[in-house]
């Protein structure tokens, strides 16, 4: 008989506006899972700027290149597609992935420019569906107060307000909304608990699914 498969890993996605605390929470969560729980976990992020497509995205975000709104949308999507095979093999071999932004950023940011939401979702169909979406909810005004934005494209209050509207349109009952205005430790605690629940559910045999759910 074939050797038993290891329990699969969980795909955990953190979403939220710029300055909502996603990136710090991802880092803290990954160290906790690795060091305290002894679980196989990797930190991922999108855009993944290390690939060829990723370097085009990086230039666009730094305002070093101009691209048609639909063209850049498809590059962000392609950047997820080029990682799909690796993502699936990691999950199937038992590694959980904590991902800083995914398809929801893809749709929310492009739709905030006025593109049709269904058009924006279409290229995401068939990517691996997250097992857990953690949405760090922080009002745009409050996020803007936190140490200010950088100089990248999209880091402006008016645009972030549009993004927030579109996140709200995408939000569904399976998302776990965490109040990102709470103290960092409280946010961290909730994220840990929800993540452990998801990891256990996946270990027990929850099947992998594809977007768009
Ligand atoms: P970071 O600051 O998190 O590196 O994000 N974005 C991201 C999109 O417009 N579409 C996408 O598909 C993704 C993943 C959000 C860089 C910026 O890129 C935006 C902020």
The set of residues, in sequence order, having a beta carbon less than 8 Å from that of 148 and lying 6+ positions away, is none
> Which of 13, 14, 19, 47 is the best mutation target for the ligand 1 pocket, counting ligand atoms within 8 Å of the beta carbon and taking the most?
47
Burial string for 195-207 (b: 16+ CB within 10 Å, else e) reads beebbeebbeeee
From first to last of its 213 residues, the chain has per-residue pLDDT tens of: 887 888 999 999 999 999 999 999 999 999 999 999 999 999 999 999 999 999 999 999 999 999 999 999 999 999 999 999 999 999 999 999 999 999 999 999 999 999 999 999 999 999 999 999 999 999 999 999 987 788 899 999 999 999 999 999 999 999 999 999 999 999 999 999 999 999 999 999 999 999 998
* β-pair partners for 44: 99
Ligand 1 neighbours (beta carbon < 6 A): 46-47, 61, 76, 101, 105-106, 109, 154
Q: Which two three-digit tokens encode residue 121? A: 């979702």
Ligand 1 atom with the shortest distance to the CA of 76: 12
Angle between helices 184-203 and 22-31 (to 10 degrees): 60
Number of helices (H), then strands (E), belonging to the chain: the values are 9, 5
- Cα(59) to centroid(ligand 1), Å: 12
Residue among 37, 58, 5, 33 nearest 132 (CA)? 33
Domains of the chain in start order, with CATH, are 11-203 (3.40.50.300)
Task: Look at residue 1 in the predicted model and tell me its pLDDT.
Answer: 85
> Which of 51, 81, 109 is the best mutation target for the ligand 1 pocket, counting ligand atoms within 8 Å of the beta carbon and taking the most?
109
- Cα(176) to centroid(ligand 1), Å: 20
Whole-model pTM: value is 0.97
- Dihedral sign computed on CA atoms, order 191, 196, 199, 204: negative
């Amino acid at each position: 008989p074939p050797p038993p498969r290891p329990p699969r890993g969980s795909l955990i996605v953190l979403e939220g506006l710029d300055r909502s605390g996603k990136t710090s929470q991802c880092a803290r969560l990954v160290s906790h899972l690795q060091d305290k729980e002894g679980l196989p976990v990797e930190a991922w992020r999108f855009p993944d700027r290390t690939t060829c497509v990723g370097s085009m995205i990086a230039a666009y975000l730094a305002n070093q290149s101009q691209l048609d709104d639909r063209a850049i949308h498809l590059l962000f999507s392609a950047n997820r597609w080029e990682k799909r095979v690796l993502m699936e093999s990691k999950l199937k071999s038992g590694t959980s992935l904590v991902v800083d932004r995914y398809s929801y950023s893809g749709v929310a940011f492009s739709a905030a420019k006025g593109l049709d939401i269904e058009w924006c979702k279409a290229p995401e169909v068939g990517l691996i569906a997250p097992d857990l979406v953690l949405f760090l909810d922080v009002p745009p005004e409050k996020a803007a107060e936190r140490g200010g934005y950088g100089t990248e494209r999209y880091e402006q209050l008016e645009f972030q307000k549009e993004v927030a509207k579109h996140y709200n349109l995408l939000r569904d009952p399976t998302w776990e909304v965490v109040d990102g205005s709470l103290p960092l430790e409280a946010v961290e605690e909730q994220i840990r608990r929800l993540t452990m629940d998801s990891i256990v559910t996946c270990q027990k045999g929850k099947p992998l699914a594809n977007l768009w759910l």
